[in-house]
Structure 1
Amino acid sequence: MPIRGGLPPRNPRFVGREGLLADVRGLLGNGPVVLLPSADHQLGGTGRTQLAVEYAYRYAETYDLVWWIPAEQTAGMRAALVGLAQELRLPEARDINRTLGAVRDALSRGEPYRNWLVVFENANRPEDIKPYLPSGAGHVLVTSRNPRWTTEVAQAVPVPVFDRTDSVDFLRRRSPDLSAVDAERLAERLGDVPMALDEAAAVRSAAGWSVDDYLRRYDERAAELAFPTPIRVAWGLAADGLAETSPAAFELLELSAFLASAPVSWELLWAARGLASPELARTVRIERRLKAAMRLIGRYGLADLDPPGGSLVVHPLVRGMLGQQLSSERHAVLLRTVRAMLAAADPGDPDNPTHWPRYAEIVPHLVHSDVLGGDAEEIRHLVINCVRYLYAGGDYDSSRDLATQAVARWRDSLGETDEQTLLASFHLANALRAVGRTADARALNAQTLRSQREVLGGDDEQTLATANSVGADLRMQGHFGQARQLDADNLVRYRRLFGESFPTALRCANNLAADLRLLGDFRGARALDEQVLRHRQMIFVDGHPETLSSRAGLAFDLYGLGDYPAAAELLAAAGHFDTLGPDHPMALWAGRFAAMAARRSGRPDAGALATTNAELYRQKFGDLNVETLGAMVSLAHCARDAGDLDEAHRLLERAVARYHAVLGDEHPFTLAAGADLAGVVRATGRYAEARTIDQEALGGLRRSVGADHPFTLSCANGLAADLVALGEGQPAREIALDTLTRSRSVRGGDHPDTLACAFNVALDAGDDQSAEAAIEELQKVYGEGHPLLARARSGVRLETEIEPPPL
């Protein structure tokens, strides 16, 4: 049996279409096939979806995998593809676009399944699905109402109405007591249109109408319409029949005119129990009555129900016809009800994964119900929560698109300084930063913060949240000092307003610790991280991501202080990182820091740890992500220690180029990576080239982070080595002595890098006694047998590589 995902139930009453099924089977071998309505029924109703479902079941045994993807809306399509990624056991990237690209590529390669069928249902915008269409040995089947499909994308197969034999067969299967003559009469009047035939069969069965009675009603209804078509007339009779039998069920159906073609669960409809008319409210407020009304809608052929009867799907044609027959007053009433229903179904806390299934059900209906135009605060808050849900789930593009629409609409209707407009702007900036538009995010955040401070005040919780986001922008720009100043001010406000154990206050403290690490103040960062960790352990369960974030940050603090065994011990003792999954951001941080500590401790497994970590980062975040580049730098250091200078040079050269592209030429990380690259160039004997790189990096670091920053001290140590190798002893000694003095002041005399600088100064001066004393101190730090000691004893100058902290 093939693996199946999202496949609708098979239609037990499917008839005919043998020629079409054979044609589709043959054409799929040449590339994607799109099923379109025939030219004389361009609105649909000819059975495209049913044909696709039948094909999937009939030929299922020839596939290893069959996956059904609702493609009417981008968010729903992306969610279905993420589910496919999980089935394919692909690592889920933080950016959902990387996950979707990985799905396409895995299917195209035939890994792990060579024979697969992917069906995109209701893909009415070819440009939306084109980026996700796989190639390879598998098959892609599409259903669409849009005729604008080119042969470059898919082969078009028009789906016509039934031939008369199939119409008669279809009707008699639905009603076994129906004579062939009566079936022929019905089929002729209904033009052999599958959807019209289905509705006629359903309403006759539900209402108990005879063929003569039905045809009489049909003619009367057709005479009332200016442009009667079989679908419009048959639908009208079914709707009238349902309204006569159950006004409440019909009103429930009317609500679907403002919902999408996605499944609508009874839980979602149940949210309308206090909002609907008295007649409908009586039905909706009791689960048993609500489900009975949903079944009745299905019996009249006006919606499809899933097998348990918990969700219904209304055909787009039915939704369209429902909307057309509403008066303007009725339209306004129902639209308000649907918007309020969706808001009432909002579970809140969109960062909580347990709430994501409900948000996944709500999001497809936002467009059809035009919630952006809602005039109630709770409806706009639903939009904001959906923006955040999409962001939290990694669908940054959809989050950005929804936030962009919200900001544009609300600026016009509410004003630029409205509280919810500003909140939507804050979330839009987050999404912009996530998709790489950092300059746009920075400008929007700055504008939003100014407005919030003027309108809401500096102590408002929303203002503080935006200020935190501005701090992230400053870190990304390399303005670490400004970020520290802003975050320190935020922390004072948070603690005064909410107390120091409040979760968002702890996040702010966590951000301030990150600022201190970036500034090289590892003692200050350690004190703050230890404090935050204690509070988080008191308020969160074991293994909570925020607690693990504090552990990881504290481990980097210990590394920065030169206590490599303690850093490794903390990461190993935490033990909880594994529970998050190997590609969770906190697990990736811990993996990188563990590799760094292992390398500094001289362990032989450091290279393997760094290799695994860098690949996981690349899969999760992509090649141009700042954290991926940090992992690449760590891997390069391992390669250098292993003697593979070519690999170390390749990795660092690539890292420098990408830092330039992502952060700019003057960012401290770009300059630090350049200093690391100079170290590898120096190791290959190209001292003049290394000096050029180091001089440029050192000047930039002194300007950006100051002469006492650890990055600057490491770079200066490298430049002194360049000058020694080039025979420029005097300037080399001056730089080396200045670096040692600063390192003792900033890092302490017993820090491993300070001891390395002391050894280098003694070596340059020919002071064997001082050099031996430095080696003895290094042995206390690293332990006997460490490779660094062997290098020092052989008279080789010691390097002090730079490891960029997380931004």
Structure 2
Amino acid sequence: MPIRGGLPPRNPRFVGRETLLTHMRDLLGNGPVVLLPSPEHQLGGTGRTQLAVEYAYRHAEAYDLIWWIPAEQTAGTRSALAGLAQRLGVPEAHDLNRTLAAVRDALSRGEPYRNWLVVFENANRPEDITPYLPSGAGHVLVTSRNPRWTAEVAQALPVPVLDRVDSVDLLRARAPELSAVDADRLAARLEDVPIALDLAAAVRETTGRSVGGYLEDYERRAGELAFPTPIRVAWGLAAEALGAAAPADRALLELCTFLASAPISWRLLWAARTLPLDPELARTVRVERRLRAAMRRIARYGLAGLDPAGERLTVHPLIRGMFGQELSSEAHAALLRTVRGMLAAADPGDPDDPAGWYRYAELAPHLVHSDLLGGDVEEVRQLVINCIRFHYARGDYDSSRDLASAAVARWRDRLGESAEQTLLAAFHLANALRAIGRKDDARNLNLQTLRTQREVVGADDETTLATANSVGADLRMQGHFGQARQLDADNLVRYRRLFGESYPTALRCANNLAADLRLLGDFRGARALDEQVLRHRLAIFVEGHPETVASRAALAFDLFGLGDYAGAAEVIAVRPGDTVPADHPFALWAGRCAAMAARRRGDPSARGLAEANLAMSRQRFGDLSVDTLAAAVSAANCARADGDLDGAHHLLERAVARYHAVLGDDHPFTLAASAGLAGVVRATGRHGEARTIDQEVLVGLRRSVGPDHPFTLSCANGLAADLVAAGEAQPARELAADTLRRSRAVRGPDHPDTVACAWNLALTDGDETVRQQALDGLVKVFGDGHPVFRVTAAEQQVETEVDLPPL
């Protein structure tokens, strides 16, 4: 049996369509096929979805994998494809776009399944699914109401009404006692339209109505309509019969008019129990047993599908539309308010918690059909904000941006630009914009939002502080580390005053301030803060929680910066209870620091650790992420330490080019990576080229982070070596002496990089006593047998290469 995902149950009453099924099979061999309504029934109802379901079951043995994707909304499509990624064994990337591209590519390659069937249901906008269409040996089947599919995308296959013989068989399958003559009469009046036939059969079966009685009612109903069609008349009779038998059931179904075609769980409908409702409807929804019974009755009248477990109703778009057209404007408004309240009542809260994501995935498809953005109560708008955050938290930045952008536009007009929830939506929109690489747009929007929040709700409001934190992230991304420190320090004072120092958000703010200090080269200050945050988090969370992993990784980078490589390795060692996956962003930070510490300690395992970390970072974040680029720099340092100068040069050359593209020419990270590239160029003997790079980089670093920053000192140390190679002894000695003096003041006399600078200066002096003292200092710091002594034995300069901390 093939692996199945999301495939609806097989229709046991499916009849006919043999020629169509055969033709579909033949067409699929030539590429994607889209099932469309026939020209005479462009609104649908001809059984496209049932045909796709039947095909999937009938040919199941030909496939290793069958995956059903609801494609009415882009967010639903992306969610279903993310589920397919897990089944294919595609590693989850931080950005869902990368995961979905990997899914498409894995299917196209036939890995791990060569024979597969992917069905996109209700894909009414070809452009929405085109980026996800795989090629290869598998098959793609689409159902759609939109006739504007081009042959380049998919082969169109119109689905007509049933043949009369098949219509008769369908009716008699539901009522074996029905004569062929009566079935023919009924099928003729319903014009062989599948959905109308199914509604008529369901009503007759449930009510016991005779064919003659049903046809009399049919004519009556048709006479009441200006434009009677078989679907509209059959629907009207089914809705009428349901309303007569159980008015509360019809009222419940009318609520579904404002929900999507996605399955509607009883739990969602049950959420309406807290709302003011008609007494009979209230009695139905307040008790699970009665609610489930109502769902079964609705399904028996053919007005919705019900899954075998009786958990979820699915209402056909045509059925939804017809209920909506029957409602008065007053009833429409009242039901819409109820549905919005029901959705808000079903909000699980805390969209950052993966445990509740399945519930948000269930709610999110209904936001559009219920026009939740137009809700006039705060809790309804809060659900929109939580769904924006849910999409962001699971890595679907495009869906987060789209929903946030729509919310900002609607709420600015409806509520005003300075309304609290307009500003909240703008805050989340900026986060999504930053995540998709639109850093300037994110920064500008955040600054505008922060100014407005400070004017309207004050600097101490929790929402203002959240936006200020986001502005701090923008500043770090721009390389304005000092400005970020000032802002985050002010935020931390306010958070602690309002909530206390152990409040989770206050701890995140402290974490941000520590990151600023680390980026400024103040590793002692960062360490003090990170140790404090780690203590608080260990008191709040279990060991191995992502927050504690983040704190341990941050503390490890602090210790590394202080030259305590053994301490850095110890603080991030795997502990019992660690459950964070190896490719989690915080785990990747820790893994990179472990490789860095191993390299500085002379451990030969360093390169393998760094290369594995880089591979996972690429998979998780993509090649242009600042995390991946930092991992590439660390991997290049390990390759160089391993003697592979070509490999180090290749990694650094690409990283520098990408830093220029992502962060800009003058960003400290771009400059620091360029200094690393100069070091590799210098090691290959191209001293003039290295000197040119180092001179330009040193000017940029002195201007951006100052002369005492570790990045600047590392570059100055390299430039001194360039000058030595050029025979400029006096300038080299002066620069080396200045670098040593600054390193002693900033990092301390016993820091490994300070001791390396002392050795380099000793080489320029030629004094054997000074040189021996410098060598003794290296032995004290690194211990006997360290690879650094191969460099000193050759009387060469010791490099002080840069590893970049997380932004």
Query: TM range, normalised to the smaller chain?
Result: over 0.9
Change (3 A) 1:436 1:707: same
Find the counterpart in structure 1 of residue 800 from structure 2: 800
CA deviations on 1:370-404 (whole Å, 9 max, x unpaired) are 01011101111111111111111111100010000
1:471–1:483 CA contact under 8 A, matched in 2: yes
Residue 169 of structure 1: aligned partner: 169
Structure 2 partner of 1:397:
398
State the 1:700 CA deviation. 0.4
Pair 1:598 & 2:598 matched: yes
How far apart are 1:768 and its partner, in Å?
2.2
Q: Check if 1:788 corresponds to 2:788.
A: yes
Aligned match of 2:330: 329
Assess if the C-alpha contact under 8 Å between 2:351 and 2:357 holds in 1. yes
Structure 2 residue matching 1:68: 3-state secondary structure:
strand
Q: 1:87 to 1:573 in 2, by over 3 A?
A: closer
Match runs of 1:569-648 below 5 Å:
569-574=570-575, 579-648=579-648
Q: Provide the residue aligned with 1:272 in structure 2.
A: 272
In structure 2, what residue type is equivalent to 1:718? G
CA deviation map 1:112-138 (0-9, x unaligned): 000100000000000000000000000
* Cα distance in structure 1, aligned partners of 2:461 and 2:788: 53
Aligned equivalent of 2:695? 695
Give the equivalent residue in structure 2 for 1:555.
Answer: 556
Partner of 2:522: 521
Matches within 5 A, 1:293-304: 293-304=294-305
Kindly provide the CA deviation profile for residues 78-134 of structure 1, in whole angstroms up to 9, marking residues without a partner as x. 111000000011110111000000000000001000010000000000000000000
Compared CA separation, residues 626 and 140, structure 1 to 2 (3 A):
same
Residue matched to 2:534 = 533
Distance 1:710 1:165 in 2: 83
> 2: CA distance between counterparts of 1:487 and 1:99?
33
Report the counterpart of residue 388 of structure 1 in structure 2. 389
Q: Shift in Å at residue 575 of structure 1?
A: 5.5
Instruction: State the shift of 1:685 in Å.
Output: 1.0
Instruction: Report the TM-score when normalising by structure 1.
Output: 0.99
CA offset at residue 420 of structure 1? 0.9
Partner of 2:660: 660
Q: Distance in 2 between matches of 1:27 and 1:787?
A: 65
User: Which residue in 1 is equivalent to 2:479?
Assistant: 478
Contact 1:391 1:399 in 2 (8 A): yes
Report deviation, 1:574.
4.0
Q: 1:300 to 1:283 in 2, by over 3 A?
A: same
Once residues 574 and 147 of structure 2 are traced to their aligned partners in structure 1, the CA distance between those partners, rounded to angstroms, is 60
CA shift digits 1:563-594 (9 cap, x unpaired): 111111211154655x2112101111111111
Aligned residue number for residue 204 of structure 1: 204
TM alignment of 1:500-511, pairs within 5 A: 500-511=501-512
* Matching residue's letter, 1:338: V
Distance in 2, Cα, partners of 1:92 & 1:642:
31
Q: What residue is the counterpart of 1:464 in the other structure?
A: 465
Counterparts of 2:768 and 2:635, CA distance in 1: 34
Measured in 1, the distance between the counterparts of 2:432 and 2:419 equals 20
Distance 1:684 1:606 in 2: 22
Partner of 1:183: 183
Show the counterpart of 2:456. 455
Q: Which amino acid aligns with 1:232?
A: R
2:546 maps to what in 1? 545
Which secondary structure does the structure 1 equivalent of 2:365 belong to? helix
Q: State the distance in 1 between where 2:97 and 2:583 align.
A: 16
1:766 Cα deviation after fit: 1.0
Q: Which amino acid aligns with 2:171?
A: L
Measure, in 2, the Cα distance between the counterparts of 1:767 and 1:182. 114
1:738 CA drift (Å)? 0.2
CA deviations 1:409-431 (Å, max 9, x no partner) are: 11111111111111111111111
Aligned partner of 2:453: which letter?
Q
SS in structure 2 of the partner of residue 162 of structure 1: coil
CA distance in 2, matches of 1:466, 1:621: 24
Structural mapping, 1:413-452, within 5 Å: 413-452=414-453
Match of residue 313 from structure 2: 312
- Check the 8 A contact 1:551/1:574 in 2, yes or no: no
Between stretches 454-463 and 770-779, larger displacement belongs to 770-779
Distance (whole Å) between structure 2 residues aligned to residue 146 and residue 58 of structure 1: 26
**What's 1:113 paired with?**
113
Letter in 1 for 2:334: V
Alignment of 1:128-167 (within 5 A): 128-167=128-167
> How far apart, CA to CA, are the structure 2 residues paired with 1:397 and 1:573?
34
Q: Secondary structure at the match of 2:112?
A: coil
* Alignment partners' CA distance in 1, 2:768 and 2:505: 55
Q: Give how far 1:772 is off.
A: 2.1
Amino acid of the structure 2 residue aligned with 1:11: N
Return 622-631 or 267-276, whichever deviates more: 267-276
Aligned 8 A contact 1:687 1:722 in 2: yes
CA distance in 2, matches of 1:256, 1:497: 44
Which is further off, 797-806 or 276-285? Answer: 276-285
For 1:277 and 1:418, the matched residues in 2 are separated by: 34
Provide the rounded CA distance (Å) in 1 between the counterparts of 2:577 and 2:597.
Answer: 18
The corresponding residue for 1:285 is 286
Indicate how the Cα distance of structure 1 residues 62 and 334 shifts in structure 2: closer, same or farther if over 3 A, else same. same
User: Is the contact made by 1:613 and 1:631 (CA closer than 8 Å) also made in structure 2?
Assistant: yes
The answer as to whether partners of 1:760 and 1:798 remain within 8 angstroms in 2 is yes
Residue 745 of structure 1 corresponds to 745
1:168–1:573 distance in 2 versus 1, CA, 3 Å: closer
Quote the RMSD (CA, aligned, Å).
Answer: 0.8
SS of equivalent residue, structure 1 residue 156 = strand
Q: Which residue of 2 aligns with 1:357?
A: 358
Distance apart, 1:273 and its partner CA: 1.2
| SS of residue in 2 equivalent to 1:572 | coil
Q: Secondary structure at the match of 1:366?
A: helix
C-alpha contact 1:548 1:576 (8 A) present in aligned 2: no
Structure 1 position 352, deviation (Å): 1.1
Equivalent position amino acid for 2:128 in 1: D
Q: Distance in 2 between matches of 1:769 and 1:24?
A: 88
> 2:364 aligns to what SS in structure 1?
helix
Q: Is the 8 A contact 2:720 2:736 kept in 1?
A: yes
**How much identity, in percent, do the aligned residues show?**
76
Distance 1:124 1:260 in 2: 14
| 8 Å Cα contact 1:258-1:335 kept in structure 2 | yes
- Corresponding residue for residue 45 of structure 1: 45
1:705 aligned partner: 705
2:506 partner letter: A
SS of the residue 1:580 aligns to: coil
**Aligned counterparts of 1:771 and 1:256: Cα–Cα separation in 2:** 83
Query: Does 1:36 pair with 2:40?
Result: no
Aligned counterpart, 1:225: 225
Amino acid of the structure 2 residue aligned with 1:247? P
1:642 is displaced (CA, Å) by: 1.4
Partner of 2:565: 564
Tell whether the 8 Å contact from 2:556 to 2:593 is kept in structure 1 after alignment: yes
Match of 2:543, SS state, is coil
Matched to 1:692, the amino acid is T
Gaps of 5+ in 1: none
Equivalent residues of 1:723, 1:731 under 8 A apart: yes
State whether residues 717 and 757 of structure 2, in contact with CA within 8 Å, keep that contact through their aligned partners in structure 1. yes
Deviation at 1:222, TM superposition (A): 0.8
- How far apart in 2 are the matches of 1:436 and 1:573? 33
Cα distance in 2, alignment partners of residues 36 and 206 from structure 1: 31
C-alpha separation in 2, matches of 1:780 and 1:742: 21
CA contact (8 A) 2:550 2:587 kept: no
